[in-house]
Amino acid sequence: MMCSSTGGDGVGAIIKRLGEVAEIVPGAGDDRRREGKYQYFYYQPNNLSDACSVLPTIFRNEPVSEKQLVRNGDIIIKRLNHDRTHVVTKVEKPSTISQNLFIVRIDETKCLPEYLAFLFEQQEVILQTSQMSGSAAPIRALSVKMLADISIPIIALEKQQALGSVWRLAKRRQSLLRELEAENNRLMTAVYNNTLGTR
């Protein structure tokens, strides 16, 4: 459990349960249809990366609920072995999430998406999710109730914005490093193929 800090450190954080500032939405099922009346882009755990820009498509005969449609500002996290957070910034077509993910939809008058995403990747919050889901288990599964009970520090919106900007820059840096590593590997493979590979 996080300790509250109310002024001694100058931060002035108020500790709240996540459920007090956000709605937690579970994912929709994929019935593996090849066609259907309704078509959606579909976030899966391996899509929670800035380097991944192409989402798979699913088809359904029944629509997903309005609540389960992804919106700008939504935070998407894994239900199993939470280790990565994604903030949705551009929804181009109707999109939903798999049952292995959660949407955390916040009240932006109280908390900003990038700030909450920053918190979700800090050890103190990750430790809470591990303790709630059973850290000894090889696969740690979160529930809506577990997430709602997580304690988070709420600070002034301008301070949230500053920390959120740092988080966003760090994500961009990670994305660029991944792209650089992939290009480096491609170049080394090309060098090998051109010099030693089978002709």
The three-state DSSP-derived secondary structure of the chain is CCCCCCCCCCCCCEEEEHHHHEEEEECCCCCCECCCCEEEEEECHHHCCCCCCCCCEEEECCCCCHHHCCCCCCEEEECECCCCEEECCCCCCCEEECCCEEEEEECCCCCCHHHHHHHHCCHHHHHHHHHHHCCCCCCCECCHHHHHCCEEEECCHHHHHHHHHHHHHHHHHHHHHHHHHHHHHHHHHHHHHHHCCCC
C-alpha 25: how far from chain center? 13
Residue 50 has a pLDDT of 53
The pLDDT score that the predictor gives to residue 8 is: 39
Report the pLDDT value the prediction gives residue 97, as an integer from 0 to 100: 94
Identify the CATH class of 15-195: alpha beta
pTM above 0.85, yes or no: no
pLDDT for the residue 140:
65
Residue 52: φ, ψ to 5°? -100, 110
Model pLDDT, residue 47: 83
What are the boundaries of each domain within the chain? 15-195
Residue pLDDT tens, the chain, 199 long: 344 444 434 467 899 999 999 999 999 877 777 788 899 999 998 887 654 567 888 999 889 999 999 999 999 998 887 777 899 988 989 999 999 999 999 998 889 999 999 999 888 887 887 665 555 555 567 889 989 999 999 999 999 999 999 998 988 888 788 888 889 999 998 888 888 876 5
